[in-house]
Amino acid sequence: MNLERTLEYVLHRYRWIFVCFFLLPCSFLYDIYVVLRNWIHFCSKDASIEHQYKVKHVQKQVKEWIKTGQKIPMCTARPGWKSTSVQDPQYKNKFYNIEVDMSDILGINEKNKTILVEPSVNIGQISAYLIPVGWTLPIVPELESLTVGGLVNGQGVESSSHKYGLFQHICVSFEVVLADGSVLKCSKVENTDIFYAIPWSYGTLGFLTAVELQIIPSKKFVELTYQPVYSLDEAMDSFEKEIKRRTGNEFVDGIMFSKDRGVIMTGNLVDTPKKTVNAIGNWYKQWFYKHVESFFETGKAIDYIPLRDYYHRHTRSLFWTIEEIIPFGNHWVFRWFFGWMTPPKIAFLKLTQTEIIKKLYLKTQVIHDTLVPLSTTKDMISFYDEAYKIYPLWLCPFKLTNEPGFVHSKSDEDEFYVDIGLYGRINSNNFEGNKTHIEHLQTLKKKKAYEMLYAGTYATREEFREMFDHTLYDRIRKSLSCEKAFPEIYNKVNKEARN
């Protein structure tokens, strides 16, 4: 027991040695390799012609699965350690793996204001491609490694979501390979039901092979205003006012550093900065959340930030979770000398974490996002303060439409919700392990909230069905004969059902 404790302590406390001396250089070299590979690929091949061959390859694999007698369900062959989540999808070892590794941008259609991409294209790739040519996605989730396939089959949210909704709401059409090996295009005008059923479906309706996304004109900078607040009431009032402001804000989000102290941030796109630009993405700059915290000393302030730096502001510090791994990572000496190699790749961190580190995270930390109606956000934050006391806390408002599907507003109208992000160490003396986690689930139910599923769910199958609207999903699964081909969503996102 004592030995285990000591080992836990050493592995956790000194993880940085392995991360700094091994994972950081590997991550940096891997990034160079990816840039070169994409560039060579871009110069040597016509992505849209090659796309057709890639789709045929997926179809061929599905048809081979049919010939095997459809005994075990299918899933993508993307290894679990590559996924941007804490989960370990062990089903990948048991299921029939289909290679859907398609990572090309297929082109922009400026007239229709859309971009066509393959599903393994990541958000970093899209922002680097679009911004220099004057366009951007209306919603750019902040971690560069998130893929379009994962964001569509899962879910995505960002500080522009109060205006545009969730990532699924900027999708124009999907191309999918179905369980019978056929290819189908769906959108708001053709195969509508399938179009609405795919978001949140976790790859349990078919294999996504292309996604058409809405694009909007971009500008060079974000004018970002930081407004410190000194009580939860003030935070909620300011938040509500900024979301509903008539003149509009392109971006609204907030970070609470304790129950009574937070910073609400509002931003707009501009071409001409009115003061010196703050390129917060440069390797020697402070971690973004530390920069935000500094405004308690100075009071309300404005920054002009290059657009791409703003979008990926939490990439370098993985929100605030990197501090647990490299505790001195924000020290100026580290930033100046090693900052250019950060962050370590999430995939490499996952691949190399030990069982003891995994257990320690589960025992002492929570990584979870909940989607709570704006009207009950204050109560939910108070609950989190009592039960977990995890700070900083991310607050990201979003518009939830009543379009059909797994998650929609609970009235006939669009409603405002807030994504509350808990990422870190539990500091509350009231925390009582699973008892608290169960109370949390019950509170979510009372508040008519949803859970984001990248962190998995501990809800029972019944609770899960109560939280998420399965009406359309069940119907589409039947009509597309998915029973043998794919597991149900629950069997992918709940640990016990998954194994």
Ligand X SMILES: Cc1cc2nc3c(=O)[nH]c(=O)nc-3n(C[C@H](O)[C@H](O)[C@H](O)COP(=O)(O)OP(=O)(O)OC[C@H]3O[C@@H](n4cnc5c(N)ncnc54)[C@H](O)[C@@H]3O)c2cc1C
Ligand Y SMILES: NC(=O)C1=CN([C@@H]2O[C@H](COP(=O)(O)OP(=O)(O)OC[C@H]3O[C@@H](n4cnc5c(N)ncnc54)[C@H](OP(=O)(O)O)[C@@H]3O)[C@@H](O)[C@H]2O)C=CC1
Gap between the Cα atoms of 119 and 127, Å rounded:
15
Q: Which of 451, 427, 462 lies closest to 371 in space, CA to CA? A: 451
Q: Is residue 146 a contact point for ligand Y (CB under 6 A)? A: yes
Q: What are phi and psi of 283, to 5 degrees?
A: -60, -25
Q: Is residue 454 a contact point for ligand Y (CB under 6 A)? A: yes
- Bridge partners (DSSP) of residue 400 are 415
Going along 80-197, which residue ranges are E strands?
Answer: 96-98, 105-109, 114-117, 135-136, 171-177, 183-187
Size of the site for ligand Y (CB under 6 A): 30
Closest CB to ligand Y among residues 224, 485: 485
Gap between the Cα atoms of 234 and 242, Å rounded:
12
Gap between the Cα atoms of 242 and 265, Å rounded:
9
Q: Which of 26, 108, 183, 357 is close enough to bind ligand LAN by CB under 6 A? A: 357
Residue nearest to ligand LAN (CB): 349
Binding partner of 421, given ligand Y, ligand X, ligand LAN, none, CB within 5-8 angstroms per partner class = ligand LAN
Site string for ligand Y, 187-206 (x = CB under 6 A): ---------------xx---
**CB 362, min distance to ligand X, A:** 4
Considering only the stretches 218-226, 281-289, 349-357, 403-411, report the one whose residues sit in contact with ligand LAN under the rule CB under 6 A. Answer: 349-357
Q: Which residues contact 16 (CB under 8 A, 6 or more apart)?
A: 325, 326, 327, 328
Binding partner of 51, given ligand LAN, ligand X, ligand Y, none, CB within 5-8 angstroms per partner class = none
Closest CB to ligand Y among residues 24, 151: 151
Size of the site for ligand X (CB under 6 A): 19
- Bridge partners (DSSP) of residue 129 are none
Q: What is the DSSP-derived secondary structure letter of residue 23?
A: I
Q: Is residue 86 a contact point for ligand LAN (CB under 6 A)? A: yes
Residue found under tokens 């962050």: 343
Q: Is residue 114 a contact point for ligand Y (CB under 6 A)? A: no
- Bridge partners (DSSP) of residue 412 are none
Taking CA atoms, 65 is separated from 79, 395, 458, 485, in Å, by 19, 44, 31, 9
In Å, how far from its chain's centre is CA 6? 34
Site string for ligand X, 344-373 (x = CB under 6 A): --------------xx-xx--xxxx-----
Binding partner of 23, given ligand X, ligand Y, ligand LAN, none, CB within 5-8 angstroms per partner class = none
Gap between the Cα atoms of 421 and 248, Å rounded:
24
Q: Which of 205, 256, 346, 426 is close enough to bind ligand LAN by CB under 6 A? A: 346
**CB 270, min distance to ligand LAN, A:** 25
Site string for ligand Y, 153-192 (x = CB under 6 A): xxxxxx----------------------------------
**CB 488, min distance to ligand X, A:** 18
Taking CA atoms, 463 is separated from 438, 441, 490, 495, in Å, by 11, 9, 11, 15
Gap between the Cα atoms of 396 and 379, Å rounded:
16
Q: Which of 58, 86, 292, 380 is close enough to bind ligand X by CB under 6 A? A: 86
Q: By CB under 6 A, what part of segment 62-101 binds ligand Y?
A: 75-76, 78, 83-85, 89, 100
Site string for ligand X, 448-487 (x = CB under 6 A): -------xx-x-----------------------------
Going along 401-495, which residue ranges are E strands?
Answer: 415-425, 450-451
Gap between the Cα atoms of 174 and 200, Å rounded:
14
Q: Are 304 and 278 in contact (CB under 8 A)?
A: yes
Using CB under 6 A as the criterion, which residues of the chain lie in contact with ligand Y when the complex forms? 75-76, 78, 83-85, 89, 100, 119, 141-143, 146-147, 149-151, 153-158, 202-203, 207-208, 452, 454, 492
Task: List residues binding ligand X (CB under 6 A).
Answer: 86-88, 358-359, 361-362, 365-368, 434, 437-438, 441, 455-456, 458, 495
